[in-house]
């Protein structure tokens, strides 16, 4: 006669009990929060949805075990069937409770995170960028976000959140623009090429502009500003914005340069023939043959393609400065008024510009030896060991926070600001 393995029933009961215990504790923690803040979120809420998902998977595994037992015991004694039915009932109840709580906690954690984001926005654009840097390690849009994922995939680092986002955007390029899987993957792999920095700075500017208006953003762009990842964390949808900017600007829609992509009669986007070539600086790497930049005209055309009025996102214009001139002196005086303005740095040949990346309040020097676009996010003064101070500009670049000392900019060939007509036209000349 078939019977139920008593130890297996005990094991199932233990796992169900552990899931119950976690759910009870999670509910108690959530109910105890009266004033949400970043510390509370990090220590209490972050990770709850993924842990509850794990609970649900455990319960489903036990349900599969119980169903297998039920099939074996179809003709067994009624007492055995009763025990098994009790196990199945407990599992089903727990799955239903867990799913319900998961939905509630997802809504609660998302709203809590949005409260923290809104609080940061109300303080300043810089505080908004700092929020995501402190939580997730990115400060603005990183044009290398996709090549980073290729490195992760090749080295099997196992960053699941980045891989999931990469797969989502890979599918989006195929569904939204009709790209083949091969072309979509190549676009994402090679996007971090010369000129991509101008798209990253423009995307960061747009994100900051709409940070507290996600409904308006979705109305104009057709996709959400914020998304929720598999761990229940609210993230900026920067990857989709960066890709949309690049595809729209490069596929003849705006009648601009349209360097690298083309739209066929069927509306599908493909690479132009021969557009992918070996890199000039590293023959083992591939890059776009024609480099593309999102200058002021292209930015304005892109905003126009989204039917965004200039009173929502002001039109841009370019103004180039030569260092050590009255105009450049005026620029440094006007920096506090130019937060959210794009800045293009053009170093002299053989004289790279020093930039300082900020990590955990420590700085490390990097050198910039080619034209590069950043977004101005702040300014300040650094205290030096000799007791003097130096003025610097804070910028967002490559998804990080950088400082550029104003006197170092005097050694540039030139620099260009790309901002609103009003900001630039009203700049006083010293």
Between 216 and 421, the higher pLDDT residue: 216
Mean pLDDT confidence for 46-72: 65
Cβ-based burial of 229 (10 A; exposed 0-12, middle 13-18, buried ≥19)? middle
Lowest mean pLDDT segment, chosen from 211-220, 269-278, 407-416: 269-278
Highest mean pLDDT among 68-77, 88-97, 99-108, 339-348: 339-348
Residue 401 has pLDDT above 80, yes or no: yes
Most confident of 77-91, 334-348, 413-427: 334-348
Q: Quick check: 74 pLDDT over 70?
A: no
Query: Where is 133: in which H helix or E strand?
Result: helix 125-136
Q: How confident is the model at residue 244 (pLDDT cuts 50, 70, 90)?
A: very high
pLDDT of amino acid 296: 85
Quote the percentage of the chain above a pLDDT of 70: 61
**Which residue in 350, 391, 362, 397 sits closest to 377, CA to CA?**
397
Global pTM reads 0.72
In this predicted structure, the answer to whether residue 27 has a pLDDT above a threshold of 70 is no
Of 172, 143, 148, 174, the residue nearest 161 (C-alpha): 148
pLDDT at 82: 66
Q: What is the set of domains in the chain, with CATH numbers?
A: 6-123 (1.20.58), 138-305 (no CATH), 316-425 (3.90.70)
Separation CA 154–CA 402 (nearest Å): 29
What pLDDT sits at residue 425? 55
On the question of pLDDT at 277 being above 70, the answer is no
Alpha-carbon radius of gyration of the chain: 27
Query: For residue range 345-399, what is the model confidence (pLDDT) as tens digits?
Result: 999 988 999 998 888 777 888 888 888 889 998 888 888 778 888 888 999 988 8
Task: Give me the chain's average pLDDT, please.
Answer: 75
Residue 276 reports pLDDT greater than 90: no
Residue 394 gets which letter from DSSP? Answer: E
3-state class (DSSP) for residue 375? strand
Angle between the 145-155 and 181-190 helix axes, to the nearest 10 degrees? 110
Local confidence band at 283 (pLDDT 50, 70, 90 cut-offs) = low
Per-residue confidence (pLDDT) for residue 223, from 0 to 100? 93
Residue 160 confidence (pLDDT) above 60: yes
pLDDT band of 32, cuts 50, 70, 90: low
Mean pLDDT of 196-203: 88
Q: What is the pLDDT of residues 201-241, one digit of tens each?
A: 999 999 988 988 889 999 999 999 998 776 667 888 999 99
| Averaged pLDDT, 397-415 | 88
β 342-346/414-420 pair status: antiparallel
- State the DSSP code for 402: E
Element (H, E) at 290: none
Higher pLDDT among residues 269 and 259, named by residue: 269
| pLDDT at position 222 | 93
CA dihedral 52, 58, 64, 68 (to 10 degrees): -150
**Which one has a higher pLDDT value, 13 or 76?**
13
| Confidence (pLDDT) at 217 | 92
pLDDT bin (cut points 50, 70, 90) of residue 249 is confident
98/113 Cα distance (integer angstroms):
22
233-237, Cβ contacts within 8 angstroms, sequence gap of 24 or more: 233/46, 233/113, 233/135, 233/136, 234/110, 234/113, 234/114, 234/117, 235/132, 235/136, 235/165, 236/132, 236/207
What are the tokens at 27? 């509910």
pLDDT at 430 (0 to 100): 40
Confidence of residue 314 (pLDDT cuts 50, 70, 90): confident
């Amino acid at each position: 006669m078939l019977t139920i393995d008593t130890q297996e029933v005990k094991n199932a009961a233990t796992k169900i009990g552990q899931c119950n215990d976690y759910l009870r504790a999670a509910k108690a923690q959530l109910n105890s929060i009266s004033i949400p803040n970043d510390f509370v979120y990090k220590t209490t809420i972050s990770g709850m949805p993924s842990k509850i998902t794990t609970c649900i998977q455990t319960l489903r595994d036990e349900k599969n075990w119980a169903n297998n037992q039920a099939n074996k015991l179809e003709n067994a004694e009624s007492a055995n069937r009763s025990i098994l039915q009790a196990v199945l009932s407990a599992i089903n109840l727990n799955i239903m409770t867990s799913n319900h709580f998961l939905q509630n906690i997802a809504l609660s954690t998302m709203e809590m995170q949005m409260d923290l984001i809104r609080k940061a926005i109300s303080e300043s654009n810089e505080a908004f960028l700092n929020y995501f840097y402190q939580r997730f390690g990115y400060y603005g849009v990183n044009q290398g976000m996709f090549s980073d994922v290729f490195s992760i995939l090749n080295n099997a680092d196992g960053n699941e959140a980045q891989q999931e986002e990469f797969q989502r955007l890979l599918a989006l390029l195929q569904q939204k623009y009709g790209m083949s899987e091969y072309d979509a993957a190549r676009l994402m792999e090679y996007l971090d090429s010369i000129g991509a920095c101008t798209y990253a700075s423009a995307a960061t500017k747009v994100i900051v502009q709409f940070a507290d208006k996600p409904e308006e953003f979705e109305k104009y762009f057709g996709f959400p500003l914020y998304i929720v990842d598999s761990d229940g964390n609210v993230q900026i949808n920067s990857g989709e914005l960066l890709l949309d900017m690049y595809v729209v600007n490069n596929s003849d829609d705006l009648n601009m340069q349209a360097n690298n992509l083309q739209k066929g009669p069927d509306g599908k986007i493909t690479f132009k023939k021969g557009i992918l070539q070996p890199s000039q600086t590293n023959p083992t790497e591939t890059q776009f043959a024609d480099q593309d930049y999102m200058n002021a005209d292209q930015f304005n055309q892109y905003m126009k393609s989204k039917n965004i009025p200039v009173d929502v996102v002001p039109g841009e214009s370019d103004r180039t400065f030569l260092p050590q001139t009255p105009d450049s002196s005026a620029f440094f005086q006007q920096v506090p008024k130019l937060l959210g303005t794009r800045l293009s740095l053009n170093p002299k040949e053989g004289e790279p510009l020093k930039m300082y990346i900020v990590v955990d309040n420590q700085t490390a020097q990097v050198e910039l030896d080619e034209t590069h676009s950043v977004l101005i996010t702040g300014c300040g003064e650094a205290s030096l060991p000799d007791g003097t101070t130096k003025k610097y500009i804070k910028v967002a670049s490559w998804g990080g926070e950088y400082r550029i000392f104003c006197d170092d900019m005097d050694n540039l060939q030139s620099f260009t600001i790309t901002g609103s007509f009003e900001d630039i036209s009203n700049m006083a000349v010293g």
